[in-house]
Amino acid sequence: MSTPIGTPVVFLGAGPGDPELITLKGRRLLDEADVIVYAGSLVNPALLDKVQAEIHDSAGMTLDEVLSVLIATSQAGKKAVRLHTGDPAIYGAIREQMQRLDAKDIPYEVVPGVSSALAAAAALQAELTVPEVTQTVIFTRQAGRTPVPEQESLRKLAAIQASMCIFLSVSMMATVVGELTAGGYPKDTPIAVVEKASWPDQQIVQGTLADIADKIKASAIRKTAMIVVGRALSDDPTAVSKLYDASFSHEYRSRST
Ligand code: SAH
């Protein structure tokens, strides 16, 4: 393998929206960049207010166009930043970009960001890993135009009864609820939708699996929203497990006498 040449391209997590929710390193990299390519539909443009860099909005660009900007910048010895919403590792489509850079021996680094899943949990003031309720968080999506492997369909994942953060799916809310219910979440399981978490116009809709689809239909929320579901969101998340404990020890006692 030949040694990579050029200035490293940076894949940078912009955070969920609030310009204060970018890392200090990310802020510095934006300020020092010569060229920034950002995902215009989701990244808050306020992050780019005072930057000196030449700015490209990737919303209207093909993958080839994005890559040629990044490659030309790096080969000219200049600093290119590819700015992605939230954290680049989650539905960031960075892999295909990194592979193209590898093919050209262009070096790069990845700088993490606050994912919208975590910004949504913060907006809900929720702990997703409540002791004795669940110790697992699943990041996933409903299959849409992008397929999801069958073994990780929402219906299958629902059997785990963990906390779930469901990306890219609010436009299919009725399907999401149907899958979660069919997979085993009781109808009274709490579920919340956070639109534009951490933005000034953030909106929260809360309910249960029984009523959330109607609530979302009645709302104006159609995109840029995180669905969070699981018993961890309940006011008393351990209530059900205590009930189980009680009945279990009761059965045990009655069996032993
Ligand atoms: N890499 C991003 C996710 C990109 S996929 C991250 O880590 O957050 C785009 C999806 O992320 C949207 O469909 C929506 O489900 C979610 N999303 C992005 N920003 C959001 C925000 N501020 N509030 C709620 N959901 C958001």
Are both 107 and 22 inside the same structural domain?
yes
Are both 161 and 216 inside the same structural domain?
yes
Residue 176: CB within 6 Å of ligand 1?
no
Q: Does 172 have pLDDT greater than 90?
A: yes
Are both 74 and 138 inside the same structural domain?
no
* Structural domain total, the chain: 2
Whole-number mean pLDDT of the chain?
Answer: 92
Q: Does 257 have pLDDT greater than 50?
A: no
- Residue 239 Cα to ligand 1 midpoint, Å, equals 31
Please state whether 180 falls in left (phi above 0), alpha (psi between -120 and 50) or beta. Answer: alpha
Tokens read off for 192: 């919340």
What pLDDT is attached to residue 240? Answer: 59
Q: Residue 168 domain-assigned?
A: yes
Q: Is 57 helix (H, G, I), strand (E, B) or coil?
A: strand
CB-based burial label for 95 (10 Å; 0-12, 13-18, 19+): exposed
The pLDDT tens digits for 38-64 are 988 889 999 999 999 999 999 999 999
Are both 80 and 151 inside the same structural domain?
no
What pLDDT is attached to residue 1? Answer: 53
Are both 169 and 81 inside the same structural domain?
no
Q: Residue 194 domain-assigned?
A: yes
What pLDDT is attached to residue 249? Answer: 47
Are both 172 and 183 inside the same structural domain?
yes
Per the structure, the complete domain to which residue 60 belongs is given by 9-114
Q: Residue 101 domain-assigned?
A: yes
Residue 120: CB within 6 Å of ligand 1?
yes
Q: Is 177 helix (H, G, I), strand (E, B) or coil?
A: helix
Are both 103 and 149 inside the same structural domain?
no
What per-residue string of b and e applies to 15-53 under the rule 16 or more CB within 10 Å gives b?
Answer: bbbbbebbbeebeebbeebbbbbbbeebbbeebbeeeeb
Are both 92 and 125 inside the same structural domain?
no
Q: Residue 247 domain-assigned?
A: no
CA 89 to ligand 1: nearest atom = 1
Average pLDDT over residues 196-205: 97
Q: Residue 187 domain-assigned?
A: yes
Q: Among 24, 50, 23, which residue's Cα sits nearest to residue 36?
A: 50
Are both 92 and 166 inside the same structural domain?
no
Q: Residue 240 domain-assigned?
A: no
Residue 122's CATH number: 3.30.950.10
Q: Does 253 have pLDDT greater than 60?
A: no
Its pTM stands at 0.91
Residue 87: CB within 6 Å of ligand 1?
yes
Residue 42's CATH number: 3.40.1010.10
What pLDDT is attached to residue 236? Answer: 85
Are both 77 and 106 inside the same structural domain?
yes
User: Higher model confidence: residue 79 or residue 240?
Assistant: 79
